[in-house]
């Protein structure tokens, strides 16, 4: 939405911790694109709490700010004003390095266009974030194998993305998102490129994540996807327009994962996708 004036920036770095809070929280968070007359408030003074273990669907018309919100929640972008908290830690004031570490360990991203690295096999795509987070090659390999099995792709581990269907690629992306046992999984239109059968596979996976107590925020236009969530919020012009708890789903609380092991730089790589993935895997220098 367009709104006059300029916001104050987030001056202070804030790294306070709370004892126990929601997995995700925004307080009066806004993100402005552009300046002056042409400024667009993609997210506009939004307050949102996502308890640990909740699966939340975010819906709303194209351009209402869903992707922007998801990027703020995952530390891929910083708000123009307001606060973003992840796992009890305020992240909107963190520097690039700290944010990169946090994304790698605490957040699993799934994008509509998969953003797998085409020169790497399915298994290598899943292993990579584990290696970047400091896992040994052996551990990374074992976890990738386990996750590919879990998403039904054990027999495709050595295939390149180009040798996989869209649905299979997205299942690899889900496995990759889970490899560091993230506190939250954030998915932006994960079934947007998929046919019904593949959508069903992803829904089943998300259902399993929900049952396992994984905190999950999924941006979707697809009612079938939204219907699997514990809660559905819709956005209009960057603000909350609706907030509905679905019947028949518990909002069980799950323990937080996440640790603070030491990261380890490695060789450079190619994003191959051009969106959030590069930042998601960004190196600390």
Ligand X SMILES: Nc1ncnc2c1ncn2[C@@H]1O[C@H](COP(=O)(O)OP(=O)(O)O)[C@@H](O)[C@H]1O
Q: Could you list the residues that contact ligand X (CB under 6 A)?
A: 33-34, 40, 42, 60, 62-68
Within 13 Å and on the Cβ side, how many CA atoms surround 203? 17
Contact of 145 with 125, CB cutoff 8 Å: no
Provide the minimum distance between the beta carbon of 159 and Mg ion in the complex, in angstroms, as a whole number.
29
b/e map 30-48, b = 16+ CB within 10 Å: bbbeeeeeebbbbbbbbeb
Q: Which is nearer to Mg ion, 67 or 121 (CB)?
A: 67
The DSSP-derived string for 256-279 is: ----------------SS-SHHHH
66 versus 169: smaller Cβ distance to Mg ion: 66
Nearest-approach distance from CB 236 to ligand X, in angstroms = 10
Query: 42 touches which of Mg ion, ligand X, none (CB within 5 to 8 A by kind)?
Result: ligand X
Distance, in Å, from the CA atom of 123 to the CA atom of 132, rounded to the nearest integer, reads 15
Q: How many residues bind Mg ion (CB under 5 A)?
A: 2
40 binds, among ligand X, Mg ion, none (CB under 5 to 8 A by kind): ligand X
State in angstroms the smallest separation of the CB of 117 from Mg ion.
22
Partner whose footprint covers residue 39, from ligand X, Mg ion, none (CB < 5 to 8 Å by kind): none
146 alpha-carbon distance from chain centroid: 21
What is the nearest approach in angstroms of ligand X to the Cβ of residue 38? 9
Cα–Cα distance for residue pair 148/139, rounded to 1 Å: 14
Please give the residues from 53 up to 72 whose contact with Mg ion meets the rule CB under 5 A. 66-67
């Amino acid at each position: 939405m367009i709104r006059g004036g300029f916001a104050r920036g987030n001056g202070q770095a804030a790294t306070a911790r709370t004892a126990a809070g929601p997995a995700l929280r925004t307080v009066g968070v806004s993100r402005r694109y552009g300046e002056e007359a042409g400024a667009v408030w993609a997210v506009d003074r939004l307050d949102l709490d996502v308890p640990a273990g909740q699966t939340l669907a975010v819906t709303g018309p194209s351009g209402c700010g869903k992707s922007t919100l998801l990027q703020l929640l995952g530390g891929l972008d910083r708000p123009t004003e307001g606060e973003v908290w992840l796992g009890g830690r305020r992240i909107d004031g963190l520097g690039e390095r700290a944010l990169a570490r946090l994304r790698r360990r605490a957040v699993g991203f799934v994008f509509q266009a998969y953003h797998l690295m085409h020169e790497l096999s399915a298994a290598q795509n899943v292993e990579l974030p584990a290696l970047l987070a400091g896992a040994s090659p052996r551990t990374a390999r074992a976890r990738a194998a386990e996750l590919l099995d879990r998403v039904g792709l054990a027999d495709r581990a050595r295939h390149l993305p180009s040798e996989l269907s869209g649905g299979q690629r997205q299942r690899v992306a889900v496995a990759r998102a889970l490899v560091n046992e993230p506190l939250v999984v954030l998915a932006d239109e994960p079934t947007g490129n998929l046919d019904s059968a593949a959508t069903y596979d992803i829904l089943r996976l998300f259902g399993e994540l929900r049952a396992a107590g994984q905190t999950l925020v999924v941006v979707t236009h697809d009612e079938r996807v939204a219907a699997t969530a514990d809660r559905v919020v819709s956005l209009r012009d960057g603000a909350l327009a609706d907030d509905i708890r679905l019947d028949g789903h518990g909002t069980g609380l799950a323990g937080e994962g996440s640790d603070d092991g030491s990261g380890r730089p490695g060789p450079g790589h190619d994003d191959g996708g051009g969106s959030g993935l590069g930042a998601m895997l960004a190196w600390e220098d």
